[in-house]
């Protein structure tokens, strides 16, 4: 299975940005290559060409991360020299060290489950499964539903990237816990914590809804 190119731009910030900072990050970087993004990642009507976002913006603790996957990796690599990150800071925080790298990452199935954790909230529920989740008084149903959605998220991103797993994908979301979020003025449910899936996933790859703006970023659990 061929590797997937991924570009990472990491900016260390002197202070922790406020919640919801990722959209501002998108606005800042977007000014440098909006035309390129629209030409290569959107159709003539402005709809995404790919189900899984190729450019993702996220804030993880005190680090701003700009991530390009597959076609997005090449866009970031070509336009990175044009970006003046010194303009990104403000009176609350400023940009320190900046790191940019492009590497080939593997998204592949394993025989045994791997433990990961969500470092930003996972938005798992859509209009269809939200009602079934909140109306259920069965803890087992809720945990099974989260595990099922995890599998669906992983299969969805694989399909969009042209990846086929030779083995069945299984996930275990029983350790996840729910948190309340306010996004664009609306109350939502997100999930944080550890989960297991028999896949190798690149660091900070997003799963679920709104991954372009930083939600659902995963990393391998330290144990």
Q: Token digits for 18?
A: 């406020």
Closest CA to 6 of 99, 58, 77: 77
Q: What is the mean pLDDT of residues 142-170?
A: 94
Kindly state whether residues 69 and 8 are assigned to the same domain. Answer: yes
Burial classification of residue 123, based on how many CB atoms lie within 10 Å of its CB (0-12 exposed, 13-18 middle, 19 or more buried): buried
Q: What is the mean pLDDT of residues 8-37?
A: 69
Which tens digit of pLDDT belongs to each residue from 154-165?
999 999 999 999
- On the question of pLDDT at 90 being above 60, the answer is no
Kindly state whether residues 39 and 129 are assigned to the same domain. Answer: no
Domains in the chain, number: 2
* Reported confidence tier of residue 83, pLDDT bands at 50, 70, 90: confident
Kindly state whether residues 118 and 206 are assigned to the same domain. Answer: yes
Q: What CATH number is attached to the domain comprising 126?
A: 3.30.70.1900
Q: Which of 87, 105, 123 is the last residue of a domain?
A: 105
Residue of higher predicted confidence among 62 and 73:
73
**Residue 183 and residue 93: Cα distance in Å, rounded?**
23
Q: What CATH number is attached to the domain comprising 56?
A: 3.30.70
Domain that holds residue 87: 4-105
Kindly state whether residues 66 and 134 are assigned to the same domain. Answer: no
Which range of 24-33, 52-61, 200-209 scores highest in mean pLDDT? It is 200-209
- On the question of pLDDT at 176 being above 90, the answer is yes
Kindly state whether residues 93 and 136 are assigned to the same domain. Answer: no
Mean pLDDT, the chain, whole residue set? 85
């Amino acid at each position: 299975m061929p590797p997937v190119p991924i570009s990472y731009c990491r900016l260390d910030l002197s202070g922790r940005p406020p919640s919801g900072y990722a959209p501002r990050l998108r606005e800042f970087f977007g000014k440098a290559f909006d035309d390129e993004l629209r030409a290569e990642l959107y159709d003539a009507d402005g709809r995404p060409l790919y189900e899984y976002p190729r450019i993702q913006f996220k804030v993880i603790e005190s680090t701003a991360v700009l991530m390009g996957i597959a076609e997005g990796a090449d866009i970031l690599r070509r336009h990175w020299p044009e970006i003046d990150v010194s303009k990104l800071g403000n009176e609350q925080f400023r940009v320190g060290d900046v790191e940019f790298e492009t590497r080939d990452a593997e998204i592949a199935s394993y025989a045994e489950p791997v433990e990961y954790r969500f470092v930003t909230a996972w938005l798992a529920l859509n209009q269809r499964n939200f009602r079934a989740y909140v109306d259920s008084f069965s803890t087992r149903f809720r945990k099974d539903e989260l595990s099922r959605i995890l599998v669906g998220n992983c299969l969805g991103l694989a399909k969009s990237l042209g990846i086929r797993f030779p083995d069945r994908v299984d996930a275990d979301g029983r350790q996840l816990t729910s948190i309340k979020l306010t996004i664009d003025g609306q109350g939502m449910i997100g999930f944080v914590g550890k989960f297991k899936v028999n896949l190798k996933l690149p660091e900070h790859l997003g799963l679920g809804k709104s991954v372009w703006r930083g939600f659902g970023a995963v990393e391998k659990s330290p144990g």
